[in-house]
Structure 1
Amino acid sequence: MNQLMQSALFLLVATGAMLGLTLPFGKIAASLHISPFMWAFVISAGAGLILLGFLLAKARFLNFTAHHLRYYFIAAAVSYALPNVMVLTVIPHLGAGFTGIMYTLSPVTTLLLSVVCGLKRPNYLGITGIAVGFLGALLVAITRGETGSVAEPLWLIVALLIPVVLAVGNVYRTIDWPQNADPVELACGSHLAAALLLIVSMLFVEGSFPIGQLMAAPWMVIIQAAVSALMFTLYFQLQIVGGPVYLSQMGYVAAAIGLISGTLFMGEHYQMLTWFGALVIALGVFFTTKAQRAK
């Protein structure tokens, strides 16, 4: 098991697959009239509380230094609360599969932001990957969601901002990682902070904390919470083993799960141009991967 926890490939596939499951879960939650804020709260509160129980069982506790608190809340906002609400908001308008494709742009935007922040030096492959990835995004955006369900431009803009926000989170977590911090502790603290931010957001935006909505799908709530806890434990380990750009490639696995589940189990249909755009993005991811490995 320890060997698997040091394997970047295993961590990438496992984390991406579990992330992909949140897409059909999110669409089902929306169909049951559970608000995006509340389902994002389920993801973060479920993960945070389960991980807290794990830490306490091992007599380990969260650190509350100024650095740790800063990390918890900034990572919570840009890595979990905001992108999850964005994803869950656009899924009913664009489809789980289409929304999942936005995850595949995360490696491209992460590499671009890493170059801007001085974490990576630009090279030919990296620039090529960025250009090809954005070309693929343009092709996907032209199709505007599921076949026969053309979305308003607003939802496309929100969807295209998802990989940008994820890239900010990927880079932030790397440059501000507390020294010698435990990944499980950071995952726990960040998700508890995200849950708190989401409660405040619901009270401000919706005027209430509609937890009663969750009674529409209690078993799905439990499953989502358990999947989230495991996913984010592996997620933070992948951050250490693979770095921010490699970690961002889990979005490609998530997109595949989203497209397959959306097409096979949720009745979603997409134009050939959508699939072609996804393949072009995959080519961009290939180039960014090569750039990441280049010395």
Structure 2
Amino acid sequence: MQSPALLLVITGFFLGLTFPFGKLAHTQGLSPIVWAWWVSAGSSIGLVMIRAVTGRSIRLEPRYVQFYFLSCIVALVIPNLLIFSVIPKLGAGFTGLLITLSPVFTLTMSSILSVRVPNRLGLAALAIGFVGAVIVALTRGEVTQPASFGWVFAGLGIPFSLAIGNVYRTMAWPDGAEPLELATGSNIAAALVLLMVVWLHPEASLPGGLLSVSGLAFITVVASTCMFPFFFQLQFVGGPTYLSQIGYVGAMVALFVGTVFLSERYSWITWAGAIVIFLGVSLSARSMKDQDNG
């Protein structure tokens, strides 16, 4: 599949399911660390099965292994641990909104690293996105359970870490590597890193309640396994900033599911901030398109 727009919608849809699924896992008493490990481990199994069916393995050359582990730490391990930790405090929908800041952070890092320097419209987008982030952050999550600013600050680490991953994968993508191959290797690396975290954490252990939510665990892994091939394919054909826009779709899915199915409630200020963020990221996307055409 080579259509960036279609890849964006599909990847964003599966990403949006991550947040309500994570909240449901928390309500069943699962540790964020254990749940993050399961998502990566289960996805690894699914992706390895896909590779086996196609008769292809994953390369273990040093540059590939380095890519797997560095990519997984900044784009999978850190974001997932933060996501599943802050969702109980901020709500699934609110956490999804924070992901929409990833394009702004990605554009900023790209310009700092001279990967892509923003034009005037891009700079305006950064300013507008920042204003929206401040508005959303001040509401501190759900109306019924406002969180401390510490949790909001932790939540902002999610799009920041994702942005690092977006830029890194483009800069370090091995020549001739297949998207599915890198998706598989990165998830295996993430599962290994998170397994070590589980082993070292005094309050986390396996299976950690996973057996009691086997249905939810299975559905989550299916969604995650479906997402990653599209995710890495989108990175390959669209680049870091276009990929980062999956947060738009993911936020809409998370807000819809959180509001309709999980009874989450957000103030009008949160929704106003969301609109400002969408305006900022839309201008960000427009600026990137103008630069590509120019």
Q: TM-score range by the shorter chain?
A: over 0.9
Q: 1:208/1:87 Cα in 2 relative to 1: closer, same or farther (>3 Å)?
A: closer
Unpaired runs of 5+ residues, structure 2, are none
Deviation at 1:203, TM superposition (A): 1.3
- The one-letter amino acid paired with 2:74 is V
2:164 alignment counterpart: 168
Distance 1:238 1:261 in 2: 24
Q: In the aligned structure 1, how far is the partner of 2:29 from the partner of 2:131?
A: 35
For residue 74 of structure 1, what is the aligned residue in structure 2? 70
Matches within 5 A, 1:68-147: 68-147=64-143
The aligned amino acid for 2:77 is A
Shift of 1:219: 1.1
1:194 aligns with 190
Measure how far apart 1:285 and its partner are. Answer: 0.7
Partner of 1:205: 201
1:26 maps onto 2:12 in alignment: no
What is the match of residue 241 of structure 1?
A: 237
1:207 shift after superposition? 5.6
1:42–1:224: 8 Å Cα contact kept in structure 2?
Answer: no
Q: Which amino acid aligns with 1:32?
A: Q
- The one-letter code of the counterpart of 1:196 is L
Tell me the CA shift for residue 221 of structure 1.
1.0
Residue 119 of structure 1 aligns to a residue in which SS?
coil
**TM-score normalised to structure 1 length:** 0.97
Amino acid paired to 1:123 = N
**Unmatched runs of 5 consecutive residues or more in structure 1:** none
- The aligned amino acid for 1:51 is L
Do 2:33 and 2:204's aligned partners in 1 also have CA atoms closer than 8 Å?
no
**Structure 1 residue 58: deviation in Å?**
2.1
Name the SS of the counterpart of 1:217 in structure 2.
Answer: helix
TM-score of the two chains, using structure 2 as the length reference: 0.97
CA contact (8 A) 1:199 1:209 kept: no
Figure out how many residues of one structure are paired with residues of the other and give that number.
291
After superposing the two structures, state which structure 1 stretch, 40-49 or 23-32, moved more: 40-49
The one-letter code of the counterpart of 2:139 is T
Counterpart residue type for residue 135 of structure 2: L
Answer yes or no: is the 8 Å Cα contact 2:13–2:250 preserved in 1: yes
Partners of 2:203 and 2:253 in 1: CA distance: 35
